[in-house]
Amino acid sequence: MVARVTKARPRPSMQNESPTPPGRTVRETNILTQNNVQVTTRRLVIGARTYQLSNIASFTTVEIQPAPSVFGFFAFLGGLGALGYAIYVGVDRGTAEAADFVVVQGGWRWIAGGVASLLAAWLRFRSLKIKYAVQLATSSGAFNAIVSTDRVWVDRIASALSEAMEFRG
């Protein structure tokens, strides 16, 4: 048996696959490369996804408000209720019996639970942040291509896209 060795054919370049006529080269200039985003004069690359600028009709930046937190609301109410109960029992019984309620009868648990619940509600409400997105409009519809809490980064991508669209003509 004779082994036959063949040379592998070189893979065609992306320029040959483009709709430009043979012999004419299209120059692609890099406008922005940051983190996992690259904007050139012909395409937008976000991570593993590539969008041809010729397929993007328009884009805009949008502000996404955080959804209200049900957990934070009920933690806040629970904390107020627990502290209110501890204060009510302390005021109702007088000074000597209030100290007995807190130390001996476990009233400190109501106070600690109320404070912990209020702290959890505060942390939850503090974690809610406004998000910003670059929304692309294509023939398929509009969708958020990039979402971040960093407005400066989203604005930088939007200005690079604007520059690329102007370059395209």
At 169 the pLDDT is: 59
At 28 the pLDDT is: 80
pLDDT per residue, tens digit, the chain (169 aa), is 444 443 444 444 444 344 555 655 667 888 889 888 999 988 999 989 988 888 888 999 999 998 888 888 888 998 888 888 777 776 666 666 666 666 667 677 778 888 899 999 999 888 889 999 999 998 889 999 999 999 999 999 999 999 988 876 5
Q: Which strand (E) or helix (H) includes residue 37?
A: strand 37-40
Contacts of 129 (CB under 8 A, 6+ apart): 66, 149
Do the Cβ atoms of 133 and 154 come closer than 8 Å? yes
At 45 the pLDDT is: 92
Taking only Cα atoms into account, the Rg of the chain, rounded to an integer number of angstroms, comes to 31
Residue 9 is classified by DSSP as P
At 102 the pLDDT is: 63
Closest CA relative to residue 54, chosen from 20, 105, 90, 92: 20
